[in-house]
Each structure stands twice: as structure tokens, then as C-alpha cells.
Amino acid sequence: MDLALLDQTLTDLGQPAFRARQVWGWTARGAADYEAMTNLPVALRSELASRVPLSTLTLQDEAHASDGTVKALFATADGRPVEAVLMRYRDGRRSLCLSSQSGCPLTCSFCATGSMKFGRNLSASEILDQALHFRRMTDVDHCVFMGMGEPMMNLDAVLAACARLPDLGITHRRTAISTVGWIPGIERLTEEPMPIRLALSLHAPEDALRSELMPVNDRYPLADVLAACHAHHERKRRRVFVEYVMLAGVNDRYEQAVELARILDPLVFKVNLIPYNPTGGPYDGSSRGAIAAFKDALEAHGVRATVRLKRGRDIDAACGQLAARAAPA
Ligand code: SAH
């Protein structure tokens, strides 16, 4: 819902200020339409229905995986593709993976979004509308900004969306922003009062390989990024989650695990190893055995590590695959 348009429309209609809060309250709890908003006058409901669309996004396609994962492809009003995913876990967690941009200006060599054309930053309403789409389906309680785009390059809109997520049932502590290591954004999140989790996409334990995988490393090299994460931890007292995509023969060797453990302070970082989802590029994912060995090596050197569960594989909803079929409309 375009919240600025809602405010303007209510003002134009001479409505009191509390109406916007009423409409948002219903919307955040998953109301399917204005008709459901029973504490609004009937005439106002139909007026709003014709003037303020329930979503800024149009659903183009939706895929349901056998494990309960749902991937939605939307189009913005100006025809940009946006994808978001709902993951349902066996422990009951309902987690959203949201996009912050249509496409991505960064060009990580293993990422599908990085190879598509960058569109633009999404507005806070366009970000919230991804979440609201799933909120109309189910309760939700976790959110990660690990869809399309670099959230730190659109941080105003991302934080404005985050500020409203608790109304949907997602607390700040259960919200994570994932970054390539965009230092100005990390620094801003450090100053931000909302206790949102920082996640860092690392993928390599040294600069040469990291720059090959993530050209942004030339601008914000490893040591500077890690220092920004230390400052973040110092202030927020919350561990930074490191994402490490496992690429066969590229970053999954024993010595690389040892080097990774050497550069990561276990009091500051926790590692999440991500099985790679091939996207048609030059890389293969590490085998399960290689991932397990890498995890063991990290833990033997004192760094806690988990292996990310794969969700939604049969619908190409897994990490980094969101752009796979999202051709610009
Ligand atoms: N730009 C941000 C957020 C989006 S990507 C960032 O890079 O952190 C979210 C995560 O998915 C990142 O860690 C990214 O490296 C990872 N990813 C990208 N492509 C992938 C793929 N094909 N398989 C597994 N993970 C992938």
C-alpha cells in the first residue's frame, strides 16, 4: 500500500488522522481488502478501494514448493520485476526473504541478480508490500533482506519498511539486513536504534579471491569491512552473521577454512555456510561432504558455523536464484 497516497487521500477526504492508523492496522494484520476493515465507515471503504490500491505491486507469478516455500514474482507500477520468498520451517518459523532493489548494481560473479540489469531502488511501500502479500497468507515472524539488491544502497527505504514490520508480527530482533560489506551502510546500521541483525556476505577469506567473486571488495576491502563489523558488535553487542557461499574448488579448501577462522573473531562472528545454487554461471556448488569438512575445520579452530537449510529448490526459490526467471516486463 502506498502509505503516502493513503495519507494524502484521507486528508483530501477530510478524514481524521486516526483513520490512517486504522487502515494500516488492518493491512498489517493481513486484511484481504477494504471491506474487511469494519471500523471504517462503509462509504470510506469503497472510496479508498477506488483510490488507494491495496498493494503497489502486481502479482505476476507464484510458485509453491513441496516444502511449503512460496516464491512470488511481482511487477512494480513501472514494470520492474521484484521477487520475494516465504519459507516455512519445521520448527514453526515463518521467514520472509525480501528484495530491496529491482536487480542489483553490484556484479558478484556467482549471483543471478548480479547478471541482470539494475532497475532501481524500491520504495518502503514496495518493500512492505512484498511482506504484506505473504502476511495475507499466514502469520510471519522473521525477515531477511536477502532477496534481490543491496539493502545498504537503499537503506532509507529499507529502514522505513523495517520500522513497520513489527506491526506484521516481525520484531527488529528477528529482522536481518544482509550486505556485501557496504561500509557506509554498516556504519549507519550501527547508529540505528532498531536492534536489527547485521549479516555480512563474505565468501572468501582474502582480498584477491574476494575481489574476483565480489568486485565491490576493491572499493571496500576485507580488513575495512571486518573493522566496521567489529565496531558494530562493540556498539550493539549482537553477533554479526557471516554468509559464505560454498563454491567447489574456489573457496572450500581446508586452508581457506583455517584462514577464515583466523580472520574472524568468534566473539563477533558466527558463520552460516550456504550451499550454492548453480545459476548457469561458471561455478559448481561444493559437495555436502566438502561443506561438512569446511564446517568441521572452522569449528576445530574455534568459530561457530551452521549449514543453511535448502528451501524451495524445486521452484528455483533458493538463495540467489530469485532473478532466474524474472525477465524485465
Ligand atoms: N546484496 C546482499 C543481499 C542479497 S544476496 C548481499 O549480498 O548480502 C543474499 C545472499 O545470497 C548473499 O549472501 C549472496 O551471496 C547469496 N547468494 C547469491 N547467489 C547465490 C546462489 N546462487 N546460491 C547461494 N547463495 C547465493
Domains defined for the chain, CATH in brackets: 1-54 (1.10.150), 60-315 (3.20.20.70)
Residue with the smallest CA separation from ligand 1 atom 21 is 320
Ligand 1 near 243 CB (within 6 A): yes
Q: Could you tell me whether strands 94-97 and 81-88 are parallel, antiparallel, or unpaired per DSSP bridges?
A: antiparallel
Q: How confident is the model at residue 97 (pLDDT cuts 50, 70, 90)?
A: very high
Residue with the smallest CA separation from ligand 1 atom 26 is 320
Q: How confident is the model at residue 325 (pLDDT cuts 50, 70, 90)?
A: low
Annotated catalytic residues are 83, 319
- Using a pLDDT cut of 70, give the percent of the chain over it: 96
Ligand 1 near 175 CB (within 6 A): no
* Ligand 1 center–CA 88 separation, angstroms: 19
pLDDT at residue 326 in the model:
46
Residues 168 and 135 sit within 8 Å (Cβ to Cβ): yes
Query: Which residue, chain included where needed, has cell 543453511?
Result: 308
**Which amino acid is located at 194 in the chain?**
M
Residue 198, C-alpha cell as written in the block? 547485521
In angstroms, the first-to-last Cα distance of the chain is 21
Its sign, for the CA torsion 252, 257, 259, 260, is positive
pLDDT tens-digit series, residues 117-164: 899 999 999 999 999 999 999 999 999 999 999 999 999 999 999 999
Ligand 1 near 180 CB (within 6 A): yes
Residue with the smallest CA separation from ligand 1 atom 12 is 201
Q: Which residues, 6 or more positions from 108, have their beta carbon under 8 angstroms from its beta carbon?
A: 114, 180, 201, 213, 214, 215, 216
Give the number of other Cβ atoms within 10 Å of residue 327's Cβ. Answer: 10
- H/E/C letters for each residue in 82-147? EEEEEEECCCCCEEEECCCEECCCCCCCCCHHHHCCCCEECCHHHHHHHHHHHHCCCCCCEEEECC
Ligand 1 near 245 CB (within 6 A): yes
Query: Which residue, chain included where needed, has cell 574448488?
Result: 249
Task: Tell me the C-alpha distance between 288 and 114, whole Å.
Answer: 25
